[in-house]
Amino acid sequence: MNTTRSLSVLSRMLVREKCFLPLGAPLHTSSRNFTSSDSMPEFPSQGKANTVIRIVPQQEAWIVEWFGQYSKTLGPGLHFLVPFVHRIPYWHSLKECAIEIPQQSAITLDNVQLNLDGVLYVKIVDPYNASYGVEDPGYAVVQLAQTTMRSEVGKIALDTVFKEREQLNVAIVESINKAAEPWGMVCLRYEIRNMNMPAKVQEAMQMQVEAERRKRAAILESEGKRDAAINVAEGEKKAKILASEAEQQERVNLATGQAEAILREAQARQKALNAVADALNKAGGADAASLLVAEKYVKAFSELAKVNNTVLLPTEMGSVGSFVTQAMTIYKQITSAAGEAAPGAKNGGRGKQPPSS
């Protein structure tokens, strides 16, 4: 009971002296915007006054010393300290902090000078090492980021810097984390913000880009002409093939038609000859055939007389009767010769056998 009354009296005294803010009073906060190389956060921040009762805000860590020696780290909440014995030399914000990296020059692998700046995102994970591991963690991590960026840029060529910016950022973060681990800090990410190069190099790159575009345009134009020529040639080739196939098909069709016509004509001639043969074998067929031959013989000479030509004829051909007589004689000779050849054909083509002696 006496202890509670003593604490109440001490609290009223501290409030009267304006050394301690009651629980209901708002805490004073300050925001920092890093826009230049001079505005960097202080790691660690300045110490706090020991007012016996202290409230540590969320995401903050306070370092407490006991007669100048590290005693403990205060987390968020209400804490009681012994005056003149406990001291709060450092306090840290455990939030992620953005640090602007000043512009600096770096030389690439192909000896091109670049001016780069960026933003480094760090976070304190070990307040003890951040307080006692290094004198000024903020300054140390900025210097480390600058040297690491120069080292990593020197390993790659200029074109690679633009193409692989993300890989470059990752390499810088890994290098910073290896060195910043004893300082109680971790680098979450690093972003290269601006890349500036000499004017001559920029002009040369612009000329290179324009030349590359002209080259690409020429290549595309030539490819277009080539494709057009190929298409025209393919079209002509297909047209010639189709024309030749059409001509071939036409010839095949014509030959097929001619063959069919010849076959039909031969069949018709065969039928006619069969009919003539059947007619000749009948009674009076020979006389009819003689008459038909005589008619055709006379008709041929009559057609010959219509043409203005000089034709030498035998003397016995002067009358129609002689024409008919001669035609009948020729037919009978042909008929008798055919009759004599028929028995020879039946005997194997040997003709008549002479009588044996």
> Looking at domain 97-199, which CATH architecture does it have?
2-Layer Sandwich (3.30)
- What whole-number distance in Å separates Cα of residue 192 and Cα of residue 322? 130
**What would the two tokens of residue 153 be?**
């840029």
Element (H, E) at 9: helix 2-16
Q: Are residues 87 and 65 in contact, defined by beta-carbon separation less than 8 angstroms?
A: yes
DSSP 353: P
pLDDT tens for 26-81 read 333 333 333 344 445 556 566 677 677 888 889 888 888 888 888 888 888 898 88
Q: Which residues contact 289 (CB under 8 A, 6 or more apart)?
A: 276, 279, 280, 331, 335
- What whole-number distance in Å separates Cα of residue 36 and Cα of residue 39? 6
Max CA-CA distance within the chain? 184
Q: Are residues 286 and 335 in contact, defined by beta-carbon separation less than 8 angstroms?
A: yes
Tokens 């076959």 -> residue: 263
Q: What is the mean pLDDT of residues 10-36?
A: 36
Burial class (CB in 10 A: 0-12, 13-18, 19+), 130: buried
**What would the two tokens of residue 103 be?**
């512009």
Element (H, E) at 165: helix 165-180
Binned at pLDDT 50, 70 and 90, residue 230 comes out as very high
Q: How are strands ordered across the β-sheet holding 86-93? A: 69-74, 60-66, 86-93
- What whole-number distance in Å separates Cα of residue 154 and Cα of residue 148? 10
Closest CA to 198 of 117, 118, 112: 112
Strand partners, 87: 65
pTM for the model:
0.48
Looking at residue 27, its pLDDT comes to 33
Q: What is the mean pLDDT of residues 311-318?
A: 56
What are φ and ψ of residue 301, in 5° steps? -70, -30
- Antiparallel, parallel or unpaired: β 97-107 and 69-74: unpaired
DSSP 317: G
pLDDT of 9 above 50: no
**What would the two tokens of residue 217 be?**
């345009």
Binned at pLDDT 50, 70 and 90, residue 224 comes out as very high
Q: At what angle do helices 320-346 and 285-305 cross, to 10 degrees?
A: 130
- What whole-number distance in Å separates Cα of residue 63 and Cα of residue 137? 15
Enumerate the domain spans of the chain: 2-24+44-93, 97-199, 284-339
- What whole-number distance in Å separates Cα of residue 107 and Cα of residue 91? 39
Strand partners, 263: none
Binned at pLDDT 50, 70 and 90, residue 13 comes out as very low
pLDDT tens for 93-142 read 888 889 998 988 888 888 888 888 899 999 989 888 888 888 888 888 89
Length of the chain: 357
Q: Are residues 229 and 235 in contact, defined by beta-carbon separation less than 8 angstroms?
A: no
Tokens 């009767």 -> residue: 321
